[in-house]
């Protein structure tokens, strides 16, 4: 599929074939979809893809430097995720700054159980940290983020770990949980660090370092930086993470001294007159799905104007 689409039997079969690419999300979603179709067989059902927002990625950001046969036969490329979250946050940021999305160049960061960063140029995603699967990129709650592929082949060949063992560890037993040894929740880790837990401090240091690196990487796709936008549960609710990320990105005109979010609405949390505003947008994936679904059913096209896309067959 190349867009959000009405679900039929053919789409359902194709989604099944892709379920293992996002094992923390797709199988569970399909269980809900199947139940809804059974209970409401006469009601149209729509599937919205997180990859749609990133469909227009330029080739330089999209392609992996791997054999052409892999790219052509297997569709091996960067697809990106968290697109529904970014679409919602982009529109809210534009409203807050009093500008149209097409006028903005932003780095957006979705921090939650899964974490990613995205470069938005004139309303379109031009780079993102997640890739072929939601495992690539930033350190996450229980996911590793990017890892040297040579380490994985070494574990397979030299330490006799199975592919299933590696996949399970990288998706469920890594990230903040692995570094801290206690929790993948930043709220727990901030409390533990304050109580003197060195592993919790290490986990937060690694996490915020990778966030800063992701922001810097995304900024390389822009000609200026109009704002940095945080969304997702951690991005919205963990001021310590925002502060530690921004305070050490002075090279981009960011500073610390961010104020906490006062209300559950989009806010600028940087100081008045900051060279680069820091914006917090409460996550709105469910609201964006509602917008996309209504637009598709009523008007026959997505709510957004960019060309959609998703992995082959999905």
Q: What is the DSSP string of 238-292?
A: -HHHHHHHHHT-GGGT--S-PPPP-SSS-EE-SPTT-SS-EEE----HHHHHHHH
Residue 182 burial class via C-beta count within 10 angstroms: exposed 0-12, middle 13-18, buried 19 and up: middle
Residue 138 in contact with residue 117, Cβ under 8 Å?
Answer: yes
Q: Where are the alpha helices (DSSP H) in 119-185?
A: 149-158, 163-172, 175-180
Beta-strand relationship, 5-6 and 267-268: unpaired
9, 10, 50, 164: which one is catalytic?
50
Q: Is 148 tagged catalytic?
A: no
Residue 184 in contact with residue 176, Cβ under 8 Å?
Answer: yes
Residues 6+ apart with CB under 8 A from 229: 89, 90, 93, 106, 107, 108, 109, 278, 279, 280, 281
Beta-strand relationship, 278-280 and 227-231: parallel
Give, as one character, the DSSP assignment of residue 105: E
* Residues composing the chain: 314
Residue 209 phi/psi, 5-degree rounding, is -60, -45
| C-beta pairs of 197-204 under 8 Å, 24+ apart in sequence | 203/176, 203/179, 204/176, 204/240, 204/241, 204/244
The strand order across the sheet containing 227-231 reads: 124-128, 115-121, 105-111, 227-231, 278-280, 267-268
The residues carrying an active-site annotation are 50
């Amino acid at each position: 599929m190349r867009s959000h689409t009405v679900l039929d039997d053919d789409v359902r079969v194709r989604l099944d074939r892709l379920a293992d690419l996002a094992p923390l999300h797709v199988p569970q979603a399909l269980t809900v979809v199947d139940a809804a179709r059974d209970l409401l067989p006469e009601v149209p059902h729509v599937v919205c893809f997180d990859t749609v927002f990133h469909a227009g990625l330029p080739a330089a950001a999209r392609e992996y430097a791997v054999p052409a046969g892999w790219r052509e036969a297997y569709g091996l490329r960067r697809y990106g995720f968290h697109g529904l979250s970014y679409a919602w946050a982009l529109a809210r940021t534009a409203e807050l700054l009093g500008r149209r999305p097409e006028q903005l160049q932003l780095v957006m960061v979705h921090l939650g159980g899964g974490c990613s960063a995205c470069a938005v140029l004139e309303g379109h995603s031009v780079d993102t940290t997640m890739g072929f699967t939601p495992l690539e990129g930033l350190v996450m709650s229980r996911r590793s983020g990017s890892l040297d592929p040579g380490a994985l082949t070494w574990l397979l060949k030299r330490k006799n770990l199975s592919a299933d063992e590696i996949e399970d560890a990288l998706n469920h037993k890594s990230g903040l949980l692995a570094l801290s040894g206690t929790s993948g929740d930043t709220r727990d880790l901030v409390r533990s660090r304050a109580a003197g837990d060195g592993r919790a401090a290490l986990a937060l240091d690694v996490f915020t370092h990778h966030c800063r690196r992701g922001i810097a990487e995304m900024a390389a796709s822009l000609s200026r930086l109009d704002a940095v936008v945080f969304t997702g549960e951690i991005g919205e609710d963990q001021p310590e993470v925002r502060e530690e990320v921004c305070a050490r990105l002075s090279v981009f005109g960011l500073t610390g001294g961010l104020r906490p979010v006062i209300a559950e609405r989009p806010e600028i949390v940087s100081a008045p007159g900051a060279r680069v505003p820091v914006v917090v947008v409460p996550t709105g994936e469910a609201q964006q799905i509602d917008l996309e679904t209504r637009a598709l059913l009523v008007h026959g096209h997505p709510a957004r104007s960019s060309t959609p896309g998703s992995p082959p067959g999905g």
